[in-house]
Amino acid sequence: MRAMTLVANYLAGFSVNRQLRIIDIGAKNINGCYRPLFEDQIYTGYDIEPGPNVDVVGSVANLYSFPFEDNSFDVAISGQTIEHVADIYAWIKEVARIVVPTGMVVVIGPNSFKEHRFPIDCWRIFPDGMRFLLHDIAQLDLIRVWKRDRDTIGIGRKRRWDSVKNSVV
């Protein structure tokens, strides 16, 4: 499934009354970017170093604490970044933290590819691993996880109760 099909199939009708707030995590344009897919939305490119397509630069000293408030984005997309993250458990929790309740998380990572350091290369993710990360670690409801060519794609939705779990009733 190509990125345009992914957007058409899973984000169409997500919001009919306003623009979506999209965060692209690992957005530095090395071999292409997702910005053109979201031209009618509010798109933020986030990476740990400046470069093309990067709007916000995170701290290398604090990789697992993004500089955004809880529930800041409707959709988080991250393509070809997870393999460069040492602590994928902390990372996926942080991705889920910045997405609104009922918001979507889309992660695309390689399941087979040669080593390519930017600056490190740690993981290849298969569908079972993606399901575990999205559902068990990030506490997202799974929408779909599948393997395509050299990639594994996972889509999850943040549970509504996440927004009220710390509330006093």
Q: How far apart are the first and last CA of the chain?
A: 44
In the predicted model, is pLDDT for residue 169 greater than 70?
A: no
Measure the CA–CA gap between 18 and 159, rounded to whole angstroms. Answer: 21
pLDDT in tens, 143-159: 999 999 999 999 999 99
Q: What predicted TM-score, i.e. pTM, was given to this entire model? A: 0.88
In the predicted model, is pLDDT for residue 135 greater than 70?
A: yes
Q: What CATH number does the domain located at 3-13+24-160 have?
A: 3.40.50.150
Half-sphere exposure of 42 (CA within 13 A, CB side): 8
pLDDT in tens, 110-129: 998 777 777 888 889 999 99
| Spans of all domains in the chain | 3-13+24-160
In the predicted model, is pLDDT for residue 168 greater than 60?
A: no
